[in-house]
Amino acid sequence: MDIINCPVCGEENPVSLEKCQHCNQLLRQSTSELNGVGKLIDSGQSPTAKKTSELESALPAWLKNARQGGSQSSEPEEKEEESAPVPPPPPAEEEKPEAIIEEDDDDDEAPLDWLAGLDDDEEDEDEAEAADWLVNLQGDTTVPEKEEEVELPGTPATDEPITAGDFPIASTKEDTPINTGELPDWISDLQEKDSEQETEALPNLFEEEKTEDTDDIKTGVLPDWLSTLSEQADSSPPAETPAVQPLSGIEADDLTESIDEDEPLPDWMTDLETSDSAEETPPTTENNADLPDWMSNLQETESTPEETTSTAEDTNALADWMTSSEDETPAVEEKAPEEISSSLDEDTPDWLSRLQVDDTASQEAPSEKESNADAPALDDTFSDSKDSATASVDSIADWMIDPDTGEDPADKNVDEIQAEATLSKSDDLPDWMADLKPTETPVEEVEDISAQDSVAEREASSQTSDPFALSAEDANEEDIAPAAKGDVPDWLSSIEKFTNETDEVDAVEEEVEKPPPSSTNEEPDWLDNLSTIDANTDVVSPSPSVNAAFVEEDDDVSDEVFGIEMPDWLSSLSPDDVDEEEMAEVEADGGDGGASGAELPSWVQAMRPVADVVPDSSKSSDENIVGTGPLAGLSGVLPAVSAMEQIGKPKAHSIKLNVSDSQQANAALLEEVLASEAEVHPFLAPAKTSSIPVLRWVIALLLILVLGFSLQSQSTMVPSPNMEIPEIRNAVNLVEQLPTGGSALLVFDYEAAFSGEMKTIASPLITQLMSRGQNLVVLSTSPTGSALAENLFEEIRLKSDYEIISGANYQSLGYLPGGSSGISNFISSPRQTIGNTAFWERESLKEIAALSDFSIVIILTNDTEKGRNWIEQKTLYLENNEENMPPFLMAISAQAEPIIYPYYASGQIDALISGLSGSATYEAMQGQEGLGRKYWDAYSVGLLFAEILIAIGAMINFLVAIRAKQKKQEEGK
Amino acid sequence: MFELISGIIAFLLTLFILSYLIGDNFLFRATTYIFIGVSAGYVAAVIWQDLLMPQLIQPIFIGTEDEKIRAYIALFLVVLLLMKAFPRLSKLGTPSIALMVGVGAAIAVAGTVQGTLFPQTMAAINAFDLEAANARGTSSGIQFFEGGVMLLGTISTLIYFQFSAKRNDDGKYRRNIVTNILALIGKVFIAITFGVLFAGVFSAALTAFIERLDFLSTFIASIKTLWLQ
């Protein structure tokens, strides 16, 4: 029964189980499913140095199986480590260099253990789901044929920087369309786009990478696949078989200069260039922050070995697998190139591998390398691929070290790998592994057979457009079948051929000094552009050609190269779109606005050590597991919807309520009101009021008795008023001065309710007028005025000797409508206002044409408003006309006196008689005895009685108030 | 006889009104309704006789051309005003209302300003015209005292109605001391004024009551005389 160890607890479980019996964790986990092993690495963020040995438990099951498979033949020491629950890899800093050094002698027997383990594990699901791009990866990982060719001692390539004029040699053959169906779309777009730009410059950064690879070759750490390529390059002059299609050096210079002058470059591309010319512009973390990780890795890959060494000291924040690799750089330089290349290829995607191959061809530019020799810093990924010495350690992380043997898989020599690969080549072996093995066994016959098989498979798959599925035969022309050769892109074959030239340092230096041929280049355009930009190491400013290489409008062409679509964020990226302001905004936002950790290409994360790149597996779920494609079995490698949900933070709302003092006061007041409403008040029964108003009856009875007695007694108990009152005196004098036969205008503007009082006031006045022979003209602004006048005259006729006959000595003008306007009209033109010509035809009114024609105007009213209207309109008329006005006398009710009297004081009226007192006074002044005198006693008694009642009532109220106060005081005590 | 009947009706109606001393009763309300009805009827008759017939109807038929034109204009406005009785056509009466209100307000405002405001203000100022007082035979001291009291009463009364104040530290609005004192004096004057008004109303009512008592006593005496005859 097969047993599988749990990746978490390390306990053994049957293979048939999916979850561990002990810890209930998935036995076959992808790298992204591991819990808490690491967190996302955002773009531009330098990996944190970690000891990946601690995260060995996070290795995917298939890898662990692979290790186990490889460790079956390991030593007892390795079994001790295997017995541990979670076999941590040995510390890279301490053990690895020694192991590497020890294994350097046995390079021939240093196969990739972990890969061998992969071969042995026939039941591994991941193998079965290996995608085409992994197959392509194998193809790119050309087998390191001859380690002695790579291990050229004493050839520091860093002394020979690549100059701007150094371009990769173009291939004479046309590039075949690369259909990497499993590659990310954006990469395919890039490839296709660049393939169309055959005449454009190759970015400098990639040329830099080539140069660095050349350094690797010089230092003897050339990867195997590159060495294989170099063998091919031996057969043909490097100038004839370039790996890429660069432009001429002149064109590249021109283009670069024009780029520098005209167009800005996005930050991330600027960083790429900056890293290329590290001497002039050391890379900044800010720019790296704007750059996706995979591009940062590209930058780092371009760094020279010297840069790598210096960066290893400076970048403490690098992950363990990065730091360890850097620390081990000296030892790795002594490693077999096969190991380096194999490990390097594991970390780099196929297209990057192609770039590496291309970079080897760029060894023609040693001068550029010189410019990069003193670069203070280097980027992450390019440092991995630029020199094999560094890359071997960079790419071989702790987790890649076989836990059983404790040795790095890269320590195994090629022979061991080949042997294992041959043995493991069975029916269950995945295709890409089948392709891999032939690449690693270019020398032996068995390997040739397997290579032929892989070639046959590749031929079959070439119709399905997978040009990246290069096998070892592509690198070794001797073993390659003609059909297989035809499948290899020309530019790749040229790379291989050119790479072989790197075996000899002198030859390389000569090649570097030569100007790269440009006419026969068939390298893809995008590589062209990259190399062109890289060639110009003096240029620090962003190169728009790089942008042009990536964001060329002709997407169709680039699609032909890469076979996939460019992602939206890359397709929309262009020098025009990304202006300085936007970049500034991005920097202000922390540089991670556009490329967050969630946007890190999943395949890059998958290629990285698990300990550093595996996100929080708690967030990943089974629904994120990729079912097909190269990432099959991996979960969380692609940004899922959950990543999109994390984009926006919930808006924080302040829960603090800003309340002003006034609002608080109002709130407190409202609380008081509500509290008072809630209080229960004792119900106070209203004081019962008697249905019989006894007091009112008593007062009325007393008043009636007193007044009645006064009226009936006729005792004149109260003397007549004898005070000299000026306004009354004026009234008497005015009436006495009236000419005989004049017309006195009497305005009856009082209501019937006041007829008793007004009759008392008007009777002595009218009697005197009659005595003066005045014709009475009656007018009223009240409809009942005429009737009241009739009643008054009747009473006067009954009580006096004067005959007041209508039409004879008195005329009634009737009702005067219109209120103030009617009064104003009447004052200005009495005839037109009244209108009835019959009145004015009478004898007494014939001479009346205006108000001034009246002998006197007497206003009889109890209403202050009506009396004031007459006064105001009369005053208004007098101010506007110099007409003489007749005497203006007012006989008013006592209640109107307080309001009308000021008009007398101001001289607006000539005389005033008010109330019963005025009437009695007027009678007294005339020596008459009329109603005034008759009512005077009762009036006086009534006033006295009222005064007494008021005084008594006030006193009673005062006493009640005092008593109530005393009660309150007593209750208070 | 007519006088006797009218006297009896007046006597009864007077008693019915006085029955209000007992409380609101039918006799009081019936007398009130009678009074209102009779007044309305009388007003309608007066308006027809003194207004519509001589100033609207007669000019249309027997008036001159100018009187006819004015009569037609008046008739048109009257018809529009009658539209107020119909909700759907009530808007048509608005011009008539606007004319009456506009003209009446203009005249009233002009009369108030020039007939009351300016003359009364000048009268308050002239209270200190000692020469005029001397001409009238009033001593200067008395005139000055009267003028001072009048001025104090006027100012204090006006200040009393000035309710603007500042807010104190305790949150209450209070006037300053001077304003408070003057307002208190004004309050006294206002109380006196109210007292005067009340006295005038009481005096008028007392006079009317006396006149009614006199009427009742006179009517009873006349009835007694007639009864004895």
Contacts of B112 in chain A (CB under 8 A): 872
- Report if residue A319 sits inside a domain: yes
Give me A964's structure tokens. 């109530």
Give me A272's structure tokens. 């790429």
* pLDDT (average), residues A747-762: 89
- CA dist A37 and A646 (Å) reads 20
A299-334 pLDDT tens trace: 544 444 444 444 444 444 444 444 444 444 444 444
CA distances from B105 to A875, A900, B70, B78 (A): 17, 22, 22, 19
The closest of A110, A387, A360 to A229, measured between CA atoms, is: A360
Q: State residue A954 phi and psi, 5-degree precision.
A: -65, -40
**Residue B115 forms contact with A (CB below 8 Å):** yes
Q: Please name every residue paired with A4 in a beta bridge, in sequence order, or none if there are none.
A: A13
Q: Please name every residue paired with A777 in a beta bridge, in sequence order, or none if there are none.
A: A745, A811
Which of B108, B115, B203 is opposite residue A875, by nearest beta carbon? Answer: B115
A587-622 pLDDT tens trace: 555 444 444 455 666 776 666 555 444 445 444 455
Contact B210 A756 (CB under 8 A): yes
**Residue A704 forms contact with B (CB below 8 Å):** yes
Question: Burial of A555 by CB count in 10 Å (0-12 exposed, 13-18 middle, 19+ buried)?
Answer: middle
In sign, the C-alpha dihedral spanning A14, A16, A20, A22 is negative
Residue pair A69/A116 in contact (Cβ under 8 Å)? The answer is: yes
- CA dist A952 and A965 (Å) reads 20
- CA dist B218 and B229 (Å) reads 16
A467-517 pLDDT tens trace: 444 444 444 444 444 444 445 555 655 555 545 544 554 554 555 444 444
The closest of A874, A864, A772 to A823, measured between CA atoms, is: A874
Contacts of B43 in chain A (CB under 8 A): 783-784
Residue of B118, B207, B216, B224 to mutate when probing chain A, most A C-beta within 10 A: B207
What pLDDT does A903 receive? 92
DSSP state of B167: E
CA A186 centroid distance within chain: 29
For residues B214 and B138, state if they share a domain. Answer: yes
What is chain B's Cα-based Rg? 28
Residue pair A416/A111 in contact (Cβ under 8 Å)? The answer is: yes
- CA dist A287 and A270 (Å) reads 8
For residues B50 and B11, state if they share a domain. Answer: yes
Query: What per-residue string of b and e applies to A70-95 under the rule 16 or more CB within 10 Å gives b?
Result: bbeebeeebeebbeeebbbbbebeeb
**Count of H-run helices and E-run strands, chain B:** 9, 2
**Residue A697 forms contact with B (CB below 8 Å):** yes
- Report if residue A84 sits inside a domain: no
End residue of a domain, out of B125, B150, B177: B125
Secondary structure class of A26 (helix, strand, coil): strand
Residue of A692, A782, A833, A836 to mutate when probing chain B, most B C-beta within 10 A: A836
Which of B21, B199, B210 is opposite residue A942, by nearest beta carbon? Answer: B210
**Residue A757 forms contact with B (CB below 8 Å):** yes
| Count of domains forming chain B | 3
- Report if residue A399 sits inside a domain: yes
What pLDDT does A965 receive? 92
- Report if residue A838 sits inside a domain: yes
- Report if residue A941 sits inside a domain: no
What pLDDT does A271 receive? 53
- Report if residue A188 sits inside a domain: no
Residue pair A336/A147 in contact (Cβ under 8 Å)? The answer is: yes
Residue of A872, A873, A904, A939 to mutate when probing chain B, most B C-beta within 10 A: A872
Contacts of B107 in chain A (CB under 8 A): 820-821, 824, 873
End residue of a domain, out of A549, A577, A609: A549
A813-863 pLDDT tens trace: 888 888 888 898 888 888 888 876 677 777 778 888 888 888 899 999 999
Of A962 and A334, more confident: A962
**Residue A874 forms contact with B (CB below 8 Å):** yes
The closest of B112, B194, B8 to A908, measured between CA atoms, is: B112
**Residue B137 forms contact with A (CB below 8 Å):** no
Query: What per-residue string of b and e applies to B62-73 under the rule 16 or more CB within 10 Å gives b?
Result: ebeeebeebbee
CA distances from A76 to A56, A88, A103 (A): 20, 16, 18
- CA dist A791 and A911 (Å) reads 25
- CA dist A845 and A825 (Å) reads 18
- Report if residue A709 sits inside a domain: no
- CA dist A767 and A833 (Å) reads 28
End residue of a domain, out of A549, A567, A596: A549
Three-state SS string across A398-427, please?
Answer: HHHCCCCCCCCHHHCCHHHHHHHHHHHCCC
- CA dist A63 and A67 (Å) reads 6
Contact A915 B123 (CB under 8 A): no
Residue type, A480: I
- CA dist A223 and B109 (Å) reads 112
**Residue B111 forms contact with A (CB below 8 Å):** yes
What pLDDT does B187 receive? 92
What part of B 34-63 touches A (C-beta under 8 Å)?
Answer: 35, 39, 42-43, 46-47, 49-51, 54-55, 59
**Residue B19 forms contact with A (CB below 8 Å):** no
| Count of domains forming chain A | 2
For residues B47 and B96, state if they share a domain. Answer: no
Contact A894 B212 (CB under 8 A): no
Contacts of B204 in chain A (CB under 8 A): 754, 757, 862, 893-895, 915
Which helix (H) or strand (E) is A776 found in, with range? strand A775-780
For residues B57 and B44, state if they share a domain. Answer: yes
What pLDDT does A154 receive? 41
A753: CATH: 3.40.50
Residue B107's domain spans which residues? 65-125
DSSP state of B55: I
* pLDDT (average), residues A43-47: 55
Mean predicted lDDT score pLDDT of chain A:
62
A326-366 pLDDT tens trace: 444 444 444 444 444 444 445 555 565 555 545 554 444 44
Contacts of B117 in chain A (CB under 8 A): none
Contact A711 B50 (CB under 8 A): no
What pLDDT does B50 receive? 82
For residues B140 and B104, state if they share a domain. Answer: no
Q: Say if residue B191's pLDDT is above 80.
A: yes
Which helix (H) or strand (E) is B111 found in, with range? helix B94-112
For residues B227 and B142, state if they share a domain. Answer: yes
- Residue A42 CB partners (closer than 8 Å, separation 6+): A289, A293, A592, A595, A596, A597, A600
- CA dist A345 and A140 (Å) reads 7
End residue of a domain, out of A494, A522, A549: A549
**Residue A756 forms contact with B (CB below 8 Å):** yes
What pLDDT does A168 receive? 45
A161-206 pLDDT tens trace: 444 444 444 444 444 444 444 455 565 555 555 545 544 444 444 4
- CA dist A730 and A720 (Å) reads 19
Residue A840's domain spans which residues? 732-916
- Report if residue A493 sits inside a domain: yes
Q: State residue A284 phi and psi, 5-degree precision.
A: -110, 150
Helix axes A204-218 and A267-276, enclosed angle (nearest 10): 30
Count how many pairs of residues, chain A against chain B, have C-beta atoms within 8 Å: 165
Residue pair A100/A328 in contact (Cβ under 8 Å)? The answer is: yes
Owner of token pair 């997407």: A555
Which of A894, A902, A917 is opposite residue B120, by nearest beta carbon? Answer: A902
Q: State residue A642 phi and psi, 5-degree precision.
A: -60, -35
Question: Burial of B177 by CB count in 10 Å (0-12 exposed, 13-18 middle, 19+ buried)?
Answer: exposed
For residues B93 and B54, state if they share a domain. Answer: no
- CA dist A380 and A384 (Å) reads 7
For residues B160 and B222, state if they share a domain. Answer: yes
Residue of B28, B201, B211 to mutate when probing chain A, most A C-beta within 10 A: B211
Please state whether beta strands B173-174 and B166-167 pair in parallel, antiparallel, or not at all (unpaired). antiparallel
